[in-house]
Chain A
């Protein structure tokens, strides 16, 4: 039997859950379909960085929009998502890197963006006392911070369901088709039909887009993270490096998360990843050099989440260039978590109002002309 709803959202990551929630807030009744469970992949196991810092310029408006929602997340979700805002700091390890930082901040200022601020060695030391003395400065985005990704994605899912979204977990969306003016999707023995279909299927979204005639240059990646045992509190902001792959965050309970984008091998069909310990060792060496205080900490767990990475590292966001009622929201390329709340809000505006005040025009799927693939 076919059940008619207002929108079908495929994918229970933070993006799908946020879009479902915002559609509910706009008075629609969506169905959210997740083949595993909400937050099973990248959305639930990423570093939790809530970061406007160091973003690609085309996605900065979306990031800023999202930041406003993060700052009121408890009011939206009845869950604080363990969000905290001690800023994010990009560390320049030498004068050349600092020069790049200076140019970047100047470029942003010229475009009217002021969230990134150049800092000298003194301010860097004040923000990150444990950092090696040789670092000459960097960039700070003071409103940035971090949240618990699994808690956040779960909270979005829960609130969406409370506000009337139908949630189907554990069964994949299949047989996606358009007929009689409606999108139809099978979920096990059920079929849902709606005028709107949102493709927010993360690492699985590229296949859906391709099957609907909109192939894009996307690959499946699995960035690795590792976490340490509890160590005495020594750092508040999230730290990322300019020149090397490292991100670094200490949680309230003392554990330290080490990431930075080294990749595991994904086995997407099995929901599995195989870690590359030699690359993780590179991260460990970087931490060892920059934060002597961490040398005796123990690594208690490492993992990787499966997600989609675009060739140009910018998400695919907005209406389909081929089909009425189809919207894409995927390919966030290792930096989609912070964008989730805002992207859901903007997506709901695109669906309900046909437009948005937030500038997202450079993120559209139409940027990939078949000849560029």
Chain B
């Protein structure tokens, strides 16, 4: 399942082999469309089903039943005729549906009639004082190590933040015998009241009982401090302690590892670099692509499924993947669509999978002081730009993230804004008394992941060059 793509043209190219991508590729191939699934990881699963085909964790209860759903998806995909390439990094996509992909150090170009982006989510930046120190990492990074290598923390460990993934990770660490000294819950108390009107829908969602029992399981074993309103990390070259304020009281606890997490946001880099229109989502506090009911974006032929279309969780991602693929089938091979689940059924499935989402989004809405830092707190890690630097630039005329590049180079480092973009937008919006939508986001550029000059130099010559040589 490695090596260059077998063809230059495909009916459908799916990018990302998480829940949405696995479902989309299987659906599209099942309907007889030539389908290519490109995925960056070494095996299928994306983040939520990471290492589903290779994890050393064999005791199923340790990772939870939801995780193993991924195995069925992988099985359907493998039973289909879809061509699957892992360790394949798509570094460019444009509105002509030309795709550049790096596989094993060599780049290839493929063209699609339809592209389904299933690039999933990223963890929201958590810019507190000290978030860049050695010994501070994201919960997602910790979960990656846990799933792929069964590695769990054994030093003094503090988990801080909020959101479903935080509790899931805590439960998984504990089940695998890892150590957690304290959980610092940053959920704002007012969120509980705000979320209340949406609670009924959540009570009927599949996440409810699972979520509740997971929180109970964790709370039975770890001290959980709720209502944390301030958070910072201190070091002597390596993390030494975590300082926090809860209920107006400050406490400092020694720590070797601090895991931060305050939810996930759509990974928009590839879609934005293809000029797909995005809007600021005021509930989820992030950029989401503008999509129709079948996941089709503002760029003809590009659809987006899964969390990249707006955070909806793994169950919704699977259905969104099927809907996007079905829509592609309807367009390219209408007769074959009859083989697939009817759109109406899929939409009912989606509504069910999305039930309770508003409750979660409202309850776990990160508080402004953990999203919008002040003073010397680093905003842009690549260029070491602080919140104060950003505000100083606003004061002398920087009006948005793209203008800010001219002053501070924010977003111009290798991360292409993944770690600072949302913070910069919200910080500038606050400083200029504008909405994030008015402030906008970085214009993102290919390559969305760096490639070496040598690799680019080795790609096949353009037709013009070939002609020039022929003419001598």
Q: Please say whether chains A and B are actual partners in one complex.
A: yes
Which residues from B are CB-within-8-Å of A287? 453, 457
Are the CB atoms of A302 and B450 closer together than 8 Å? no
Q: When A37-B399, A151-B406 are in contact, do A295 and B454 touch as well, CB less than 8 Å? A: yes
* Interfacial residues of chain B within 164-189, with CB under 8 A of chain A in the complex: none
* Interfacial residues of chain B within 431-472, with CB under 8 A of chain A in the complex: 445-447, 450-454, 456-465
The segment out of B35-43, B88-96, B253-261, B351-359 that lies at the interface is: B88-96
Which residues from A are CB-within-8-Å of B414? 229, 298, 300
Q: When A158-B396, A282-B465 are in contact, do A275 and B459 touch as well, CB less than 8 Å? A: no
The answer, yes or no, to whether B397 is at the interface (CB within 8 Å) is yes
A173 to B396, CA, bound (A): 25
Are the CB atoms of B447 and A281 closer together than 8 Å? no
A151 to B92, CA, bound (A): 27
Q: When A270-B275, A276-B462 are in contact, do A299 and B451 touch as well, CB less than 8 Å? A: yes
Are the CB atoms of B452 and A299 closer together than 8 Å? yes
Residues 279-306 of chain A: 1 if any B CB is under 8 Å from the residue's CB, otherwise 0?
1111011011000001111111111000
Q: Which of B92, B95, B397, B463 contacts A277 (CB 8 A)?
A: B92
A80 to chain B, nearest CB (A): 13
Q: Which residue of B lies closest to A297 (CB)?
A: B453
Are the CB atoms of A150 and B447 closer together than 8 Å? no
The answer, yes or no, to whether A220 is at the interface (CB within 8 Å) is no
Residues 143-162 of chain A: 1 if any B CB is under 8 Å from the residue's CB, otherwise 0?
00000101101100110000
The answer, yes or no, to whether A44 is at the interface (CB within 8 Å) is yes
Are the CB atoms of A301 and B456 closer together than 8 Å? no
What's the count of A-B pairs with C-beta under 8 Å?
A: 107
A228 to B456, CA, bound (A): 12
Q: Which of B96, B403, B462 contacts A282 (CB 8 A)?
A: B462
Which residues from B are CB-within-8-Å of A280? 456
* Interfacial residues of chain A within 143-188, with CB under 8 A of chain B in the complex: 148, 150-151, 153-154, 157-158, 169
Which residues from A are CB-within-8-Å of B456? 277, 280-281, 284, 299
Q: When A296-B454, A302-B447 are in contact, do A281 and B397 touch as well, CB less than 8 Å? A: no
The answer, yes or no, to whether A126 is at the interface (CB within 8 Å) is no
A364 to B275, CA, bound (A): 38
The answer, yes or no, to whether A274 is at the interface (CB within 8 Å) is yes
Which residues from B are CB-within-8-Å of A148? 406
B158 to chain A, nearest CB (A): 33
B223 to chain A, nearest CB (A): 43
Q: Which of A39, A44, A275 contacts B446 (CB 8 A)?
A: A275
The answer, yes or no, to whether B100 is at the interface (CB within 8 Å) is yes
Are the CB atoms of A229 and B450 closer together than 8 Å? yes
Are the CB atoms of B450 and A299 closer together than 8 Å? yes
B424 to chain A, nearest CB (A): 16
Are the CB atoms of A275 and B452 closer together than 8 Å? no
Are the CB atoms of B94 and A275 closer together than 8 Å? yes
The answer, yes or no, to whether B109 is at the interface (CB within 8 Å) is yes
Which residues from B are CB-within-8-Å of A369? none
The answer, yes or no, to whether A272 is at the interface (CB within 8 Å) is yes
A284 to B409, CA, bound (A): 24
* Interfacial residues of chain A within 327-346, with CB under 8 A of chain B in the complex: none
The answer, yes or no, to whether B416 is at the interface (CB within 8 Å) is yes
Which residues from B are CB-within-8-Å of A228? 453
Which residues from B are CB-within-8-Å of A229? 414, 450
B107 to chain A, nearest CB (A): 8
A297 to B406, CA, bound (A): 23
Are the CB atoms of B452 and A296 closer together than 8 Å? yes
Which residues from B are CB-within-8-Å of A297? 452-453
B343 to chain A, nearest CB (A): 31
A279 to B461, CA, bound (A): 8
Are the CB atoms of A282 and B461 closer together than 8 Å? yes
Are the CB atoms of A296 and B453 closer together than 8 Å? yes
Which residues from B are CB-within-8-Å of A39? 403, 406
Which residues from A are CB-within-8-Å of B416? 300-301
B447 to chain A, nearest CB (A): 6
Q: Which of B407, B409, B450, B460 contacts A278 (CB 8 A)?
A: B460
A266 to B416, CA, bound (A): 23
A335 to B406, CA, bound (A): 20
Q: When A277-B100, A299-B447 are in contact, do A284 and B453 touch as well, CB less than 8 Å? A: yes
Interface centre among B94, B400, B405, B456 (most CB of A within 10 A): B456
A278 to B109, CA, bound (A): 10
Are the CB atoms of B445 and A281 closer together than 8 Å? no
Q: Which of B95, B447, B454, B460 contacts A274 (CB 8 A)?
A: B95
A119 to B55, CA, bound (A): 63
A158 to B407, CA, bound (A): 13
Are the CB atoms of A294 and B453 closer together than 8 Å? yes
Interface centre among B446, B453, B464 (most CB of A within 10 A): B453
The answer, yes or no, to whether B412 is at the interface (CB within 8 Å) is yes
Are the CB atoms of B406 and A277 closer together than 8 Å? no
Q: Which of A37, A279, A303 contacts B462 (CB 8 A)?
A: A279
Are the CB atoms of A288 and B454 closer together than 8 Å? yes
Q: Which of A154, A274, A295 contacts B453 (CB 8 A)?
A: A295
Q: Which residue of A lies closest to B405 (CB)?
A: A150
A274 to B402, CA, bound (A): 19
Q: Which of B402, B403, B450, B462 contacts A281 (CB 8 A)?
A: B462
B99 to chain A, nearest CB (A): 10
Q: Which residue of B lies closest to A40 (CB)?
A: B402
Residues 392-429 of chain B: 1 if any A CB is under 8 Å from the residue's CB, otherwise 0?
00001101101101110100111010000000000000
Are the CB atoms of B453 and A158 closer together than 8 Å? no
Which residues from A are CB-within-8-Å of B275? 270, 272
Q: When A297-B453, A300-B447 are in contact, do A278 and B396 touch as well, CB less than 8 Å? A: no
A287 to B454, CA, bound (A): 9
Residues 29-73 of chain B: 1 if any A CB is under 8 Å from the residue's CB, otherwise 0?
000000000000000000000000000000000000000000000
Q: Which residue of A lies closest to B412 (CB)?
A: A301
B393 to chain A, nearest CB (A): 10
Which residues from A are CB-within-8-Å of B100? 277
B370 to chain A, nearest CB (A): 29
Which residues from B are CB-within-8-Å of A157? 397
A272 to B94, CA, bound (A): 11
Are the CB atoms of B461 and A281 closer together than 8 Å? yes
B386 to chain A, nearest CB (A): 18
Are the CB atoms of A278 and B406 closer together than 8 Å? no
Interface centre among B412, B454, B465 (most CB of A within 10 A): B454
Q: Which of A151, A169, A298, A301 contacts B445 (CB 8 A)?
A: A301
Are the CB atoms of B459 and A278 closer together than 8 Å? yes
Q: Which residue of A lies closest to B463 (CB)?
A: A278
Which residues from A are CB-within-8-Å of B453? 228, 284, 287-288, 294-299
A107 to B96, CA, bound (A): 46
14 pairs from A and B in contact (CB 8 Å cutoff): A37-B399, A37-B400, A40-B402, A154-B397, A229-B414, A272-B95, A277-B109, A281-B461, A284-B456, A284-B457, A288-B453, A288-B457, A295-B457, A298-B453
Given contacts A151-B406, A299-B453, 16 further A-B contacts (CB under 8 A): A44-B406, A150-B403, A150-B405, A154-B407, A228-B453, A229-B450, A253-B409, A277-B92, A278-B460, A278-B462, A281-B461, A288-B454, A295-B452, A296-B452, A299-B447, A301-B447
Query: A-contacting residues of B (Cβ < 8 Å)?
Result: 92, 94-96, 100, 109, 275, 396-397, 399-400, 402-403, 405-407, 409, 412-414, 416, 445-447, 450-454, 456-465
